[in-house]
Structure 1
Amino acid sequence: MSVGTSNAPGGRGTRGVPAPRQDTLTGLGVDPDDLPDGLVVADEHGVVVCFNAAAARITATAPTDALGQRLEKALPLEDLEGRRWWQLTDPYGGLAIRVGQPERNLLLPGGREILVSAAYVRVEPTGPVHRVVVSLRDTEARRRTERSHAELIATVAHELRSPLTSVKGFTATLLAKWERFTDDQKRLMLETVDADADRVTRLIAELLDISRIDSGRLELRRQPVDIGAAVGRHIQAYVAAGQPADRFLLRIEQPLPPLWADPDKVDQVLSNLIENAVRHGEGTVTIDVTPSVSPREGDDLDNTATSVTVSDEGPGIPEESMNRVFTRFWRGSKRGGTGLGLYIVKGIVEAHGGTITVGRAASGGAEFRFTLPVSTPAYLA
């Protein structure tokens, strides 16, 4: 634990004032090293009396090198313009009504950027500062989030630009030169506009799904689902659209347990997985529906589940890419679209309490397998 007396000679801080004892900082029974954020505490004389493990990791400074030092020496911070932070803010001087500093980006020696906030603890509301408590956070997680948001915005802008340009171009042309086109030409333009409008609608739906998944607000309306029949409907739709019937092989192992799930969300999962197999795979697309064991741990009352496996005979997914398949924006070498579909599929399956995996099929192609617990409603149990 990185809380203790100063390592200054004689165990005393600067100005000859004894540093606080460890028990004055751990009276609540909280070990500072257990905190997820960096914690640095300086006493009323500006001497560091606490430098926890997270602070040591973030600043690359050993606690023994920081304890007993002046705050500005133990934690030499600069703002983004190169000004020394502690001299600029003067926590022990200035207005007596100040309570601290809001979180902001500051720089450590060497240019590493961290998030820093500070609280000024006073015994009396306008009395002298009794203690300065500094919180440190690594910026890497926030940077990853910001990069993810930036990628999402860029992807959305790119995906919207093409269909909207097409819609605008065709509608403007029809309005300006309606009489010059034959009925067949008008129909072709309107069909293109309709298809592009559907593409924009799908993208908006994907963005809404991502928002709900990330915030944990994805709503499920559970009903009895005949998943074998649901798969059959998707196959029939592809055959009606021109795919040869012998490209699909549906195998259902009976008896299947009664499945309670959101039928629309299950359809969304099946649509995405089967479409991927049809568009990016080769040969026969095989869909196996089998009874299984619930992926939920500790479910002693009812551990039955249903599994669906979708596989093809194409080149499959490279081994080094399998751990990224369900991340945002992942696309295989031939993938189009936004790269959001499988991320949404994983979110839907996990919202049902299920699991989804990706691997290589016996035929060498890609194989996706998801398992959903039966989830019988409590009032029917």
Structure 2
Amino acid sequence: MDIAAGAGQLDLHQDDLPDGLVVADRLGLVCCFNAEAARLTGRPPAAALGRPIGSVLPLEDPDGRPWWCVTSPYRGLATRSGQPERNLLLPGGREVLVCARYVRDHPGGPVRRLVVTLRGTDARQRSERSEAELIATVAHELRSPLTSVKGFTATLLDKWDRFTDEQKRLMMQTVDGDADRITRLITELLDVSRIDSGRLELRRQLVRLDEAIRRHVKTLVNGGYQAERFEVRIDEQFPGLWADPDKIDQVLGNLLENAVRHGEGTVTIEMHRVPPSRTRQEGTAVTVSDEGPGIPEEAMHRVFTRFWRGSDRGGTGLGLYIVKGIVEAHGGTVTVGRSAGGGARFRFILPAGTPAFLA
């Protein structure tokens, strides 16, 4: 059986379809059983063709009722056009997503052809596991700062007069820091949602990337890291970059925080111009590298996926996924490799862009 893609276009064979396809004639005998249907059911096409569809696909609903007895396509209501996709069970308990269409010569007439599509539930299960992992990660990351906030505020409300002004200030600073952690987590979750749905909005303006790099390094030094741990290499004056300044700050913040948290030794930040070529316009490249243990070769392809963590030092595992989404939304690229000192090396390239480019 060939399924035409359209008049004058290339024909697709039934075995080219990504879903299982089973077709029965007006007598309920199987006349089509493609390769994916054979894989999902474990039944070869030769053992299906010419046999009643109820015996070829002995489907049951989650309550254990035979699906064909419940739906009765050939003897049921003549106004029905099919069955919506639902989760059913094959012998042995394997779950499949099943959808049926009833083909009639005219409305109200007998079923001339029964078309059934089958899909495995692996992709849906992976999605459900990913969502469950996201919920667990969020719950874990929220528990610590919320516990701290609740503890300090309850203590202050209950015993306000017992503390000195300095003690109150210290507790309020801790609460403020924990509130910032919660805000960052919520921002990450919103960004993941927007990246997944293709709705990440960019508010581009002129950004001085060299100044942004120096500002982030200064923030880390003010936060307690030694200035000697950072080496910034920017050899020339760079023109402004047309980009979203807040999103670029997220990229730089994530990469530098990863380097100081998971890496060791000197963190080197390099910035240089990328000349135009036949495949890309002029751009700016930023490299962040450290001298730590680096990332195992077999794990590098997973670095920019959700929940990947380079160590057990905390974090949601969403930072690098967001970095990739932001850089690609700007039309750039980001890669990971090994630095000269043996540690991790992250490099992203952003196109220079112009106001006209944004139109």
Q: Percent identity of the aligned residues?
A: 69
Instruction: Give 2:284's aligned residue.
Output: 306
Instruction: Give 1:238's aligned residue.
Output: 220
Q: 2:168 aligns with which of 172, 175, 186?
A: 186
Structure 1: how far apart are the matches of 2:68 and 2:114? 11
Contact 2:231 2:266 in 1 (8 A): yes
Contact 1:287 1:309 in 2 (8 A): yes
Instruction: Give 1:200's aligned residue.
Output: 182
Equivalent residue runs for 1:5-20 within 5 Å: none
Instruction: Give 2:39's aligned residue.
Output: 57
Instruction: Give 1:133's aligned residue.
Output: 115
Aligned in 2, Cα 1:379/1:207: closer, same or farther, shift over 3 Å? closer
Equivalent residue runs for 1:92-103 within 5 Å: 92-103=74-85
Structure 2: how far apart are the matches of 1:379 and 1:316? 37
Structure 1: how far apart are the matches of 2:107 and 2:27? 18
Equivalent residue runs for 1:311-326 within 5 Å: 311-326=289-304
Structure 2: how far apart are the matches of 1:154 and 1:79? 31
Is 1:84 the equivalent of 2:66? yes
Structure 1: how far apart are the matches of 2:141 and 2:315? 8
Is 1:216 the equivalent of 2:198? yes
Contact 1:257 1:304 in 2 (8 A): no
Contact 1:257 1:306 in 2 (8 A): no
Contact 2:209 2:240 in 1 (8 A): no
Question: Could you tell me how far 1:27 is from its partner in structure 2?
Answer: 9.6
Contact 2:206 2:241 in 1 (8 A): yes
Structure 2: how far apart are the matches of 1:199 and 1:38? 47
Specify the SS of the correspondent of 1:92.
Answer: coil
Contact 1:39 1:136 in 2 (8 A): yes
Equivalent residue runs for 1:149-164 within 5 Å: 149-164=131-146
Q: 1:336 aligns with which of 305, 314, 323?
A: 314
Question: Could you tell me how far 1:344 is from its partner in structure 2?
Answer: 0.6
Contact 1:257 1:305 in 2 (8 A): no
Specify the SS of the correspondent of 1:249.
Answer: strand
Aligned in 2, Cα 1:27/1:237: closer, same or farther, shift over 3 Å? closer
Structure 1: how far apart are the matches of 2:137 and 2:22? 41
Segment drifting more, 31-40 vs 345-354: 31-40
Instruction: Give 1:360's aligned residue.
Output: 338
Is 1:113 the equivalent of 2:91? no
Structure 2-normalised TM-score? 0.91
Segment drifting more, 237-246 vs 110-119: 237-246
Question: Could you tell me how far 1:167 is from its partner in structure 2?
Answer: 1.4
Structure 1-normalised TM-score? 0.86
Contact 1:106 1:115 in 2 (8 A): yes
Structure 2: how far apart are the matches of 1:293 and 1:86? 65
Question: Could you tell me how far 1:258 is from its partner in structure 2?
Answer: 5.1
Q: 2:49 aligns with which of 67, 76, 80?
A: 67
Contact 1:77 1:109 in 2 (8 A): yes
Contact 2:149 2:178 in 1 (8 A): yes
AA aligned to 1:251 is R
AA aligned to 2:20 is G
Instruction: Give 2:329's aligned residue.
Output: 351
Q: Residue deviations 1:69-110, cap 9 Å, x none? A: 211122222222333222332211122222222211112233
Segment drifting more, 76-85 vs 216-225: 76-85
Structure 1: how far apart are the matches of 2:307 and 2:207? 30
Contact 1:255 1:291 in 2 (8 A): no
Segment drifting more, 179-188 vs 208-217: 179-188
Instruction: Give 1:6's aligned residue.
Output: none
Contact 2:205 2:242 in 1 (8 A): yes
AA aligned to 1:177 is K
How many corresponding residue pairs?
355
Question: Could you tell me how far 1:170 is from its partner in structure 2?
Answer: 1.6
Is 1:376 the equivalent of 2:354? yes
Contact 2:276 2:282 in 1 (8 A): yes
Structure 1: how far apart are the matches of 2:331 and 2:301? 20
Structure 1 regions of 5+ residues with no counterpart?
4-21
AA aligned to 2:167 is Q
Question: Could you tell me how far 1:379 is from its partner in structure 2?
Answer: 5.9
Contact 1:253 1:291 in 2 (8 A): no
Contact 2:208 2:239 in 1 (8 A): no
Contact 1:281 1:315 in 2 (8 A): yes
Is 1:284 the equivalent of 2:266? yes
Aligned in 2, Cα 1:27/1:246: closer, same or farther, shift over 3 Å? closer
Structure 1: how far apart are the matches of 2:63 and 2:216? 59
